[in-house]
Amino acid sequence: MPGGRSLLLAGVVSTLAAITGAAWLHEARPGSVVQSAAQTVSPQAGKLQPPALTADEERFATALWAVHREATRSAVTMSFAGITYQAEDRDARALARKIEPLAKFFHDAEMQVRAMSAPPSLSKTQVQYVGAMALYAGAAAEMLKFTEDGDSQRLGVAHEMDVRASEDMLRVGEVLWPGQYKPH
């Protein structure tokens, strides 16, 4: 299983590098830092600020934020559980104990976001977030299957799902919370 361990570690490192790069690009783009009064008076040509959210959009964003805050924490916890398994303890039962509550959370979060009332302008954003929660739930399920059958390919599948879910969460964040710090 050294190949699976290396694959997972390389995948996690590349994912973290990609996310760090995306966050750096986001923070480095013009207009993302506090602007001086002179810059505020003369906005940069070609760079328009996104329109403010409507009251309905703001209500949806606020409701989703409650889920998002926990989803972000849970996603990081799930990634570190896999890293810890591969790099340190190799205890499948300990991995299962860490992943089981996360699998339940992501399933419940998917249902909760699906049940939210999104304004028509954010319906695609809602669908994308529901998909991200489903991907995280699927990744957790694959990790749990691995703890039962030992098939290390399941960890690779889980990692790919985790990366796609993280990217989708980042895209939703850019729509609803463009200035959000992105630790994941």
Position 49 in a domain = no
Give the single-character DSSP code of 87. Answer: I
Position 41 in a domain = no
Residue 113 contacts residue 130 (beta carbons within 8 Å) = yes
Crossing angle of helices 92-115 and 55-84, in 10° steps, is 170
CA distance 121 to 130: 16
Residue 21, pLDDT score: 53
Position 127 in a domain = yes
Residue-wise pLDDT tens digits, 109-135: 999 999 999 999 999 999 999 999 999
What is the pTM assigned to this prediction?
0.74
3-state secondary structure of 178: coil
Position 44 in a domain = no
Q: Of 122, 136, 130, 7, which Cα lies nearest the Cα of 75?
A: 136
CA distance 158 to 102: 13
3-state secondary structure of 181: coil
The vertex-169 CA angle with 167 and 170, nearest 5°, equals: 65
What count of other Cβ atoms lies within 10 Å of the Cβ of residue 160?
Answer: 15
Give the single-character DSSP code of 42. Answer: S
The domain of 139 spans 2-29+54-176
**Rg of the Cα trace of the chain?**
19
- Report how many domains make up the chain: 1
Per-residue pLDDT of the chain (184 residues; tens, 9 = 90+): 556 666 666 666 666 655 665 555 555 555 444 444 444 444 455 556 778 999 999 999 999 999 999 999 999 999 999 999 999 989 999 999 999 999 999 999 999 999 999 999 999 999 999 999 999 999 999 999 999 999 999 999 999 999 999 999 999 999 999 877 655 4
Residue 92 contacts residue 150 (beta carbons within 8 Å) = yes
Residue 178, pLDDT score: 87
Sign of CA dihedral 24, 50, 53, 137: negative
Position 74 in a domain = yes
Position 40 in a domain = no
Position 165 in a domain = yes
Integer angstrom CA distances of residue 115 from 57, 94, 112: 15, 33, 5
The vertex-165 CA angle with 57 and 145, nearest 5°, equals: 135
